[in-house]
């Protein structure tokens, strides 16, 4: 009896201690993300009409990412071929990702940064590592820093240890791993979420050795990633299985949702995908169960919280101008390009 009492006593103390430590921890909702901005690199590496589905894949992801808040300026979209204007397309200037053809994913608000033959291994690696020629416009640069979370999505035709670009060259898994390591050393990212939808996709992330990378692939080595369905009006396979189920999941995610990354990683079971989705967690320090999906798919809004009141100095420059004019007339003057002073809002403000 004594022994049992003692055991109860010990158990009770342990429980108390546990409950105490728990109450000391910051609740999950208050756990802050450690990144300051979000970027996305979305790449379709294959050209030709019969690879319509890859373009549809990448444009669908683009649409979701943009809807969840990453602005166009922080999305690098690389598309190898122009399916919308392909003469074989019976629906000119559109690209659909579903046989119901409800959403044209190639709407007016799509900004393709690298298109056609610009999508090459060299450009892709230069983009990641930031070693671009000096005259490269900002829209074609990955201007990330050590606080950036990057979503990398690749789709195309792959094999064991390589991904084909443009039917003419390939990037090997080692090259990709080295590029990511260089990014880490150059402090170009905080965390990377790497998604790849190709055949034998998992071979691409097996060589990664840089920290803070969470990777998932549509199929394991030796498996093919399959297409989901045919749009018989257009006459092509319209989307790949993995991306189809990813989209189905993402459609129910909104900027404030509390979905976690582990939900995303389990999005396509083998019964649906017909291939095994591969995941690599060992380089990623956090627990995917606790990482909100918006850490990669959403965007951090640049909000600064301050307790000090801010003096907004009222500097009515426009009012000064006529005063100056009356005081000392200037002979030469630039005409205002737009008669801003005539707009009622600015006048009052």
Partner 1 sequence: MGLLSDPDVGSVKWVRVLKRVHGPVCFLCYVGALVWFVLLGHREFNNETYFSENALLPGLVTNEFNAEQTANQYFNELHSELQTNYEETDEMPVPWLVGMMSHIHLEVYTHNFTLRYPLGKGQVFKGTNVYGILRAPRTSSLEAIVVSVPYRSVGSHQKTTVAGIALMLAFAKFARPQKYWAKDIIFLVTQHDQLGMQAWLEAYHGLHSEAEPFHASLGSFWKPGTPKFTMDSFLPNIPFRGRGKKPLNPGTLKGRSGSIQAAILLEFSSPKIKYVEVKIEGLNGQLPNLDLVNLVHKLCQKSGIHHSFGKSYSWIRGRDSMDDWKNGFWTMFEMMVGQIDGVPDGNHGLFHRFGIEAVTLEGRDEMDPGGKVPRVNTLSRCNFYKLGIALESILRSLNNLLERFHQSYFFYMLASTHRFISIGQYMPSLCLLCVAMLIRALSLWVTTLQQDGDYNDKQTNKTNKKPSKHKLEKAKDSDSEEPGEQETKEVTKVKTPEKKKADINMSVLNIGVNYLLVHLIGYGVMNSPFMMAYYGSVYYMKPPEVSVYFGIISIAVLLIFITPFLPYLLRKGPISYEELSLVNILVLTELATVCLSVAMQNFSLGFAMAVIYTPLALMTSVHVRGSGKARACLQLLKRLVCLLVHPLVVLLVCMVAYSRHLVADESWLATLSRGSDAAMQAIMFSVVDSMLYGNWLFNLSTSILLPIWLIFWQILNIKVNAP
Residue matched to tokens 């627990």? 287
Catalytic residue among 157, 228, 268, 273: 157
Residue whose C-alpha is closest to residue 206's, from 219, 187, 190, 189: 219
Note whether 183 and 129 are within 8 A (CB). Answer: yes
Q: Which is nearer to partner 1, 86 or 260 (CB)?
A: 86
Query: Using CA atoms, how far apart are residues 153 and 194, in angstroms rounded to an integer?
Result: 6
Note whether 295 and 35 are within 8 A (CB). Answer: yes
Closest separation in Å from C-beta 54 to partner 1: 12
Q: Which is nearer to partner 1, 199 or 265 (CB)?
A: 199
Residue 199 is a catalytic residue: yes
Does an H or E element contain 196, and which?
strand 191-197
Catalytic residue among 35, 199, 228, 273: 199
CA distances from 161 to 201, 207, 253 (A): 8, 9, 32
Closest separation in Å from C-beta 199 to partner 1: 13
Closest separation in Å from C-beta 45 to partner 1: 15
Instruction: Please name the residues in contact with 332: beta carbons below 8 A apart, sequence gap of 6 or more.
Output: none
User: What's the distance, Cα to Cα, between the start and end of the chain in Å?
Assistant: 82
Q: Which is nearer to partner 1, 177 or 236 (CB)?
A: 236
Binding site for partner 1 (CB under 8 A): 48-50, 85-90, 92, 230, 232-237
Q: Which is nearer to partner 1, 75 or 79 (CB)?
A: 79
Closest separation in Å from C-beta 90 to partner 1: 4
Closest separation in Å from C-beta 35 to partner 1: 41
Residue matched to tokens 């919280």? 305
Q: Which is nearer to partner 1, 71 or 87 (CB)?
A: 87
**What is the DSSP track for 249-294?**
HHTT--TT---BHHHHHTSS-HHHHSSPPEEE-TT--S-TTTSBGG
* Catalytic residue positions, numbered: 157, 199
């Amino acid at each position: 009896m004594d022994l049992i009492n003692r055991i109860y006593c010990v158990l009770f103390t342990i429980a108390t201690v546990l409950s105490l430590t728990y109450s000391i921890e910051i609740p999950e909702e208050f756990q802050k993300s450690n990144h300051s901005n979000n970027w996305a690199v979305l790449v379709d590496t294959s050209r030709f009409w019969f690879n319509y589905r890859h373009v549809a894949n990448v444009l669908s992801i683009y649409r979701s990412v943009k809807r969840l808040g990453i602005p166009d300026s922080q999305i690098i979209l690389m598309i190898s071929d122009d399916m919308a204007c392909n003469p074989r397309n019976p629906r000119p200037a559109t690209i659909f990702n579903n046989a119901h053809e409800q959403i044209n994913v190639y709407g007016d608000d799509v900004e393709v940064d690298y298109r056609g033959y610009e999508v090459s291994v060299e450009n892709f690696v230069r983009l990641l590592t930031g070693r671009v020629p000096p005259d490269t416009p900002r829209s074609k640069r990955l201007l990330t820093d050590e606080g950036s979370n990057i979503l990398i999505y690749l789709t195309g035709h792959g094999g064991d240890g390589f991904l084909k670009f443009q039917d003419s060259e390939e990037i090997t898994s080692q090259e990709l791993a080295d590029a990511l390591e260089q990014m880490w050393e150059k402090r170009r990212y905080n965390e990377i979420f790497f998604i790849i939808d190709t055949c034998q996709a998992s071979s691409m992330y097996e060589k990664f050795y840089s920290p803070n990378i969470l990777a998932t692939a549509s199929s394991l080595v030796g498996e093919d990633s399959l297409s989901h369905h045919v749009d018989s009006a257009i006459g092509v396979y319209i989307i790949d299985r993995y991306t189809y189920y990813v989209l189905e999941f993402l459609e129910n995610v909104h900027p404030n949702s509390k979905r976690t990354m582990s939900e995303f990683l389990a999005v396509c079971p083998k019964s649906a995908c017909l291939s095994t989705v591969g995941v690599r967690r060992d380089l990623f320090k956090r627990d995917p169960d606790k990482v909100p999906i918006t850490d990669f798919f959403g965007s951090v809004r640049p909000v600064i919280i301050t307790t000090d009141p801010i003096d907004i100095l009222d500097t009515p420059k426009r009012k000064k101008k006529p005063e100056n004019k009356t005081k000392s007339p200037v002979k030469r003057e630039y005409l205002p390009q737009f008669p801003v002073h005539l707009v009622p809002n600015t006048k009052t403000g």
